C-alpha cells in the first residue's frame, strides 16, 4: 500500500542509465486513480479535489443535482455503461448478488472490456493522469483491471470510507432507501472493493479526514500511490478550501454509535473498525474481512432467493404505486385544466358582462342622442315653418337650435342637418323669395323624412343590439350551467382522487405489512440458522472430544508398543553385542588353529608322512567307488 522500495521494478526503472542526446524519448506512462466507495460516502468530494489538484476529469460530466449541488465529477458515459452492464448481468448497484464466477472468461466480458476501454479513450484522451469514479465500480474491480491492462494504464485505487449510519441517513433523505438495506449495501461495497484491490497500489481514507484536513489526505494518497499531483499551488489550495465547505456534510454520527445500535450486526462494526484502523495507517489484518465476506456469501445463498422475491414484490408494488401516482397526477392535471377552463369561462363571462353593460350604455346614449336630434329637427322645422308662413320667426327658437347643435358632438348630426340649418338661415335673411322658401321647406320635409328613416334604422339597430344582448345573456346562462356541470364533475373527480389516495394508502399499508412479514421470515430464518449453527457447533465439539479421546487412547497404545519395541531392541542389541563378541572369540580361536596348522605343515614329520597320506586318500577313494 506504500511507495515501492529501491529494489522494486518501478524503482529500478527510475534509476535507469541516462539517455544519450540522440536516444528517442520514452513514452509517457498513463496513470489512473480509481475512487471506490459506497454511494453518499464522499467520493464526489474527493474526486472534485483530485480534479482541482491536476487529475484529468471526463469530457462528459454528470450534471449536478439537488443531492450533489457541487457536482458528481464522474463520467455520464461510464455511468450509463455500468447501468447497462449490471442490467445485462441481472443485478444492480443495490443488489448484493455477485456476477457469475466464470463471467470474466466469457465472450461477453471481452466485448465489455473493449467497450469500456474505448469509452475511457474518448472520455479522457491522452491525459497522463485521470481520475475515474463511480460507486458501481466497487462491484466491477476485476473487470476494470482487465480494461486498464488492455489500455496499458497503471491503476491506483482509493477506498473512500464514511460512517455507515451517515451513509444510510443520507440515502434515506435523498432516495428514501431503508436504513438496514443501506447499511448492508455499505458493507457489501466495502468488502468487495477491499478484497478485489489487494496487492494493487491503494490508499484508504475517510470522509471525515478529508473534510478535517484535505492536505494530509492528498499527501498520503500521493505517497501511498507514488503519484505526484501536478497542480497544487496556493491558489488551488484556496479553491479546494472553498470547495470543501462545511455545508457538504449534512449527516453526523459518532463511531461509538454503532456499538449502541442493537439492530446493526457485528459484521458492520468489525468492518468499520478495520477501515478506521487501515485509514490511520495502523496494522489491520484482512482475516476478519474474509470471514465477513464468507458470511455474506453464505447469507446470500440462504436468504438471497427470499430477498429477491421480496424485492420483486416490492418493485411490483412500487410500480403499481407509481402508476397510481401517475393516474392521480393526471387527474390533478385534468382538474387543474378544468379549473383553468372555469377561470377562462369566468373571464369570458366577465368580458361579455362588461360588453353588455357597455352596449347598454351606448344604446342609452344613442337613444338620448336620437331624442335630442328629434327635438332639434322639430325646433328647426318649427322655426322654418314660421319663417316661411309669417315671414318672420322668433330668434329665440333659432337660438335654442344653435345651442343644441353646439352642445352636440359633430358626429351625432348628419351633414344634411347642418346644410338645412344653413339654408334656413339664408331663408331668414331673404324673406322676399317665397318660392325659395317653399322649396327649402319641401327639402327640409324630405330631410326630415330621411332623418325619420335614419331614426327607424337606428331603432332597428338598437333592437338588433337588444337581441344580441339577449343572445349574450342566453350564452351567459349556458356558460353558467356548463360551469355548474364542470364544478359537479370536478367534485366527483375529487372524490375519485380521494378514493385513489385511500387505495394508495391501503397499498402502502399492504407493502409495509409485506415488508414486516418478510422481515419476520428473515428473522426466523436467521434464528433457525443460528440454532442450526449452534447445534452443528455442539455436535462438532462432541465429535472433536470423541476423536481426541480416541487419539489419546491410540497414543497410549502406541506409547506402550513403542516401549515394548524399545525393550526388544535393547535385548536384540545386547544379543548382537554378545554374538559379535562370540564371533570375535571364534575368529581368534580360528586364527590360533590356522597358526598351529601352519606350524604342523611346516614340520619335518608332516612332510615325511605326505606319501602315506596320499595312499590313504587313494584307498579311501577306491572304497568310495
One DSSP character per residue, 454-503 reads HHHHHHHHHHHHHHHHHHHHHHHHHHHHHHHHHHHHHHHHHHHHHHHHHH
Residue 418 pLDDT exceeds 60: no
Name the region of 345 (left: φ>0; alpha: ψ -120 to 50; beta: rest): alpha
* Residue showing cell 506402550: 560
Question: pLDDT digit string (tens) for 151-183?
Answer: 999 999 999 999 998 888 888 887 778 888 888
Average pLDDT of 210-237? Answer: 89
Residue 623 pLDDT exceeds 70: no
Which pLDDT does position 445 carry in this prediction? 67
- The cell for 344 is 377562462
Burial pattern 301-314, b for ≥16 Cβ within 10 A else e, equals eebeeebeebbeeb
Question: pLDDT digit string (tens) for 249-258?
Answer: 555 556 666 6
Strands 31-36 and 154-161: parallel
pLDDT tier, 24 (very low <50, low <70, confident <90, very high otherwise):
very low
Report which of residues 515 and 238 the model is more confident about: 238
**Contact status, residue 28 vs residue 128, Cβ threshold 8 Å:** yes
Report which of residues 100 and 205 the model is more confident about: 205
Average pLDDT of 475-483? Answer: 70
* Residue showing cell 433457525: 528
Quote the DSSP letter at residue 22: T
The top-scoring range by mean pLDDT among 48-57, 351-360, 563-572 is: 48-57
Report which of residues 262 and 404 the model is more confident about: 262
Q: What is the pTM of this model?
A: 0.50
The DSSP bridge partners found for residue 456 are: none
Report which of residues 600 and 235 the model is more confident about: 235
Residue 21 pLDDT exceeds 60: no
SS3 (DSSP) at 67: coil
**Contact status, residue 491 vs residue 389, Cβ threshold 8 Å:** no
- The cell for 60 is 462528459
**Contact status, residue 240 vs residue 52, Cβ threshold 8 Å:** yes
pLDDT tier, 5 (very low <50, low <70, confident <90, very high otherwise):
very low
What is the spatial distance between Cα 143 and Cα 127, in angstroms, rounded to a whole number? 22
What is the spatial distance between Cα 365 and Cα 370, in angstroms, rounded to a whole number? 8
Q: How many residues does the chain have?
A: 625
Average pLDDT of 544-558? Answer: 76
Residue 398 pLDDT exceeds 70: no
Average pLDDT of the chain, as a whole number: 76
What is the spatial distance between Cα 609 and Cα 603, in angstroms, rounded to a whole number? 10
Of 101, 136, 100, the C-alpha closest to 116 is 136
Which pLDDT does position 65 carry in this prediction? 81
Of 314, 594, 361, the C-alpha closest to 462 is 361
CA-CA-CA-CA torsion for 355, 361, 366, 371, nearest 10 degrees?
Answer: 160
Q: What are the CA-CA distances from residue 198 to residues 203, 207, 356 (Å)?
A: 11, 21, 87
pLDDT tier, 22 (very low <50, low <70, confident <90, very high otherwise):
very low
Average pLDDT of 560-580? Answer: 80
Beta-carbon contacts of 392 under 8 Å, excluding residues fewer than 6 positions away, are 386, 431
Can you give the three-state secondary structure of 360-419, one letter per residue?
A: HHHHHHHHHHHHHHHHHHHHHHHHHHHHHHCCCCCHHHHHHHHHHHHHCCHHHCCHHHHH
Centre a 10 Å sphere on the Cβ of residue 74 and count the other Cβ atoms it contains. 26
Which pLDDT does position 251 carry in this prediction? 55
What is the spatial distance between Cα 2 and Cα 531, in angstroms, rounded to a whole number? 44
Which pLDDT does position 433 carry in this prediction? 52
Which pLDDT does position 201 carry in this prediction? 94
Average pLDDT of 504-514? Answer: 72
Tell me the HSE value of 262 on the side-chain side, using a 13 A CA sphere.
0
* Residue showing cell 513403542: 562
The C-alpha angle with vertex 277 and arms to 276 and 283, in degrees rounded to 5, equals: 160
The top-scoring range by mean pLDDT among 154-163, 207-216, 390-399, 522-531 is: 154-163
Which pLDDT does position 128 carry in this prediction? 92
Helix 179-196 with 266-279: angle, nearest 10 deg = 50
CA-CA-CA-CA torsion for 401, 407, 409, 413, nearest 10 degrees?
Answer: -10
Which pLDDT does position 444 carry in this prediction? 67
Largest Cα separation within the chain, whole Å, is 235
Element (H, E) at 34: strand 31-36
Which pLDDT does position 595 carry in this prediction? 80
Q: What share of the chain is helix, strand, coil (3-state, %, to 5)?
A: 75, 5, 20
* Residue showing cell 491558489: 235
Residue 455 pLDDT exceeds 50: yes
If you write DSSP's letter for every residue of 281-325 in order, what string do you get?
T----SHHHHHHHHHHHHHHHHHHHHHHHHHHHHHHHHHHHHHHH
Residue 11 pLDDT exceeds 50: no
Which pLDDT does position 3 carry in this prediction? 35
What's the chain's Rg over C-alpha atoms?
Answer: 58
Identify the structural domains of the chain with CATH numbers, from first to last.
28-284 (3.40.50.300), 328-512 (no CATH)
Q: Integer distance in angstroms from the first to the last C-alpha of the chain?
A: 102
Which pLDDT does position 259 carry in this prediction? 64
Of 503, 506, 492, 505, the C-alpha closest to 331 is 492
Average pLDDT of 328-336? Answer: 77
> For 61, phi and psi rounded to 5 degrees?
-85, 150
Quote the DSSP letter at residue 548: H
What is the spatial distance between Cα 285 and Cα 277, in angstroms, rounded to a whole number? 10
Which pLDDT does position 131 carry in this prediction? 95
Quote the DSSP letter at residue 55: P
Amino acid at each position: 500500500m506504500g511507495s515501492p522500495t529501491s529494489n522494486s521494478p518501478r524503482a529500478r526503472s527510475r534509476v535507469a542509465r541516462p539517455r544519450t542526446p540522440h536516444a528517442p524519448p520514452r513514452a509517457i506512462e498513463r496513470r489512473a486513480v480509481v475512487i471506490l466507495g459506497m454511494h453518499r460516502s464522499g467520493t464526489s468530494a474527493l474526486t472534485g479535489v483530485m480534479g482541482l489538484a491536476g487529475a484529468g476529469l471526463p469530457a462528459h460530466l454528470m450534471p449536478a443535482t439537488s443531492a450533489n449541488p457541487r457536482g458528481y465529477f464522474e463520467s455520464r458515459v461510464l455511468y450509463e455503461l455500468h447501468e447497462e452492464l449490471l442490467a445485462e448481468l441481472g443485478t444492480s448497484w443495490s443488489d448484493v448478488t455477485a456476477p457469475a464466477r466464470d463471467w470474466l472468461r466469457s465472450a461477453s466480458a471481452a466485448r465489455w472490456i473493449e467497450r469500456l476501454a474505448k469509452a475511457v479513450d474518448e472520455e479522457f484522451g491522452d491525459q497522463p493522469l485521470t481520475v475515474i469514479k463511480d460507486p458501481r465500480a466497487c462491484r466491477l474491480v476485476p473487470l476494470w483491471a482487465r480494461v486498464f491492462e488492455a489500455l496499458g494504464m497503471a491503476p491506483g485505487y482509493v477506498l473512500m470510507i464514511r460512517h455507515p449510519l451517515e451513509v444510510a441517513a443520507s440515502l434515506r433523505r435523498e432516495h428514501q432507501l431503508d436504513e438496514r438495506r443501506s447499511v448492508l449495501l455499505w458493507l457489501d461495497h466495502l468488502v468487495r472493493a477491499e478484497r478485489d484491490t489487494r496487492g494493487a497500489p491503494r490508499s484508504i481514507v475517510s470522509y471525515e479526514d478529508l473534510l478535517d484536513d484535505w492536505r494530509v489526505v492528498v499527501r498520503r494518497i500521493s505517497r501511498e500511490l507514488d503519484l505526484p499531483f501536478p497542480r497544487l499551488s496556493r491558489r488551488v489550495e484556496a479553491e479546494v478550501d472553498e470547495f470543501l465547505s462545511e455545508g457538504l456534510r449534512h449527516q453526523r454520527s459518532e463511531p461509538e454509535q454503532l456499538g449502541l445500535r442493537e439492530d446493526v450486526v457485528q459484521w458492520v462494526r468489525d468492518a468499520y473498525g478495520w477501515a478506521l484502523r487501515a485509514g490511520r495507517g495502523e496494522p489491520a489484518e484482512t482475516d476478519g474481512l474474509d470471514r465477513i465476506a464468507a458470511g455474506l456469501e453464505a447469507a446470500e445463498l440462504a436468504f438471497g432467493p427470499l430477498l429477491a422475491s421480496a424485492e420483486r414484490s416490492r418493485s411490483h408494488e412500487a410500480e403499481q404505486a407509481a402508476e397510481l401516482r401517475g393516474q392521480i397526477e393526471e387527474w390533478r392535471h385534468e382538474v387543474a385544466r378544468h379549473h383553468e377552463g372555469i377561470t377562462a369561462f369566468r373571464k369570458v363571462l366577465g368580458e361579455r358582462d362588461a360588453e353588455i353593460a357597455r352596449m347598454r350604455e351606448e344604446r342609452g346614449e344613442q337613444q338620448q342622442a336620437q331624442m335630442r336630434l328629434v327635438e332639434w329637427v322639430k325646433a328647426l322645422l318649427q322655426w322654418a315653418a314660421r319663417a316661411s308662413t309669417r315671414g318672420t320667426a322668433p330668434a329665440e327658437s333659432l337660438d335654442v337650435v344653435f345651442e343644441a347643435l353646439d352642445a352636440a358632438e359633430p358626429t351625432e348630426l348628419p351633414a344634411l342637418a347642418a346644410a338645412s340649418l344653413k339654408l334656413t338661415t339664408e331663408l331668414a335673411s331673404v324673406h322676399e323669395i317665397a318660392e325659395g322658401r317653399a322649396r327649402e321647406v319641401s327639402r327640409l320635409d324630405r330631410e326630415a323624412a330621411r332623418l325619420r328613416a335614419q331614426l327607424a334604422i337606428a331603432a332597428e339597430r338598437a333592437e338588433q343590439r337588444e337581441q344580441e344582448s339577449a343572445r349574450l345573456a342566453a350564452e351567459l346562462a349556458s356558460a353558467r350551467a356548463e360551469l355548474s356541470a364542470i364544478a359537479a364533475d370536478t367534485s366527483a373527480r375529487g372524490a375519485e382522487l380521494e378514493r385513489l389516495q385511500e387505495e394508495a394508502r391501503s397499498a402502502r399499508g399492504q407493502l409495509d405489512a409485506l415488508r414486516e412479514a418478510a422481515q419476520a421470515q428473515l428473522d426466523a430464518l436467521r434464528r433457525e440458522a443460528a440454532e442450526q449453527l449452534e447445534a452443528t457447533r455442539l455436535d462438532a465439539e462432541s465429535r472433536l472430544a470423541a476423536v481426541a479421546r480416541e487419539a489419546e487412547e491410540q497414543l497410549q497404545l502406541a506409547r506402550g508398543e513403542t516401549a515394548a519395541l524399545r525393550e526388544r531392541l535393547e535385548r536384540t542389541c545386547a544379543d548382537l553385542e554378545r554374538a559379535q563378541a562370540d564371533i570375535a572369540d571364534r575368529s581368534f580361536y580360528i586364527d590360533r588353529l590356522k597358526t598351529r596348522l601352519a606350524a604342523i605343515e611346516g614340520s619335518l614329520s608332516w612332510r615325511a608322512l605326505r606319501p602315506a597320506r596320499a595312499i590313504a586318500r587313494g584307498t579311501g577313494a577306491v572304497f568310495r567307488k
